[in-house]
Amino acid sequence: MNKLYIGKIVNTHGIKGELRIKDNLTTKQKNEIFKIGSNLIIDDKSYEITSYRVHKDYDMVTFEGLNNINEVLFLKGKKVYKSKEDINLNNEDILDSELITYKVKTTDNIDGKILDIEETGNNYKILRLLINNNEVLVPYHKEFVKIDSNKKEVIVKLL
């Protein structure tokens, strides 16, 4: 099974088994990934989502059969994945966990690689790249970054 990293369970919320997930998804992606009735994968085990809501900067979910804080405490700190086959996103919507595997080329045709994608604030991201053995930070913005999902390639404009 091919799975994509979604985020991490950072805590529980309340006493009814609700979990707090921190991720770097856009709102459109969240609606697809956290659909009620769909599954999330934690430690190679599948859990069906029974409720979903957004609270502050977190995605709040409950799972089928886990209705009490004591039943979900073991999930705290775990990484959350989604089966790639279960995600129906357009070609323009690429998850950060998938984008990090793409090849990098600059507009000057120099190869590089993505080290990390960092969120710096509300919906602002920076790509941390390795180009010519130098670490380079590039705003994740259409003015500087073009993504070719067919070639699995990121074209970066450096200043």
Q: How many domains does the chain have?
A: 2
- Whole-model pTM over 0.75: no
Same domain, yes or no: 120 and 144: yes
What integer pLDDT is reported at residue 91 of this predicted model? 57
* Residue 84 scores a pLDDT above 60: yes
Q: Which domain holds residue 37?
A: 3-89
Residue 94 forms part of a structural domain: no
Same domain, yes or no: 18 and 84: yes
pLDDT in tens, 115-146: 988 877 666 788 999 999 999 999 988 899 99
Domain CATH number, residue 30: 2.40.30.60
- What is the pLDDT of the chain when averaged over all its residues? 88
Is 154 in contact with 114 (CB distance < 8 Å)? Answer: yes
Least confident of 7-21, 40-54, 100-114, 116-130: 116-130
What integer pLDDT is reported at residue 99 of this predicted model? 85
**Which residue's structure tokens are 């080329």?**
105
What whole-number distance in Å separates Cα of residue 103 and Cα of residue 114?
8
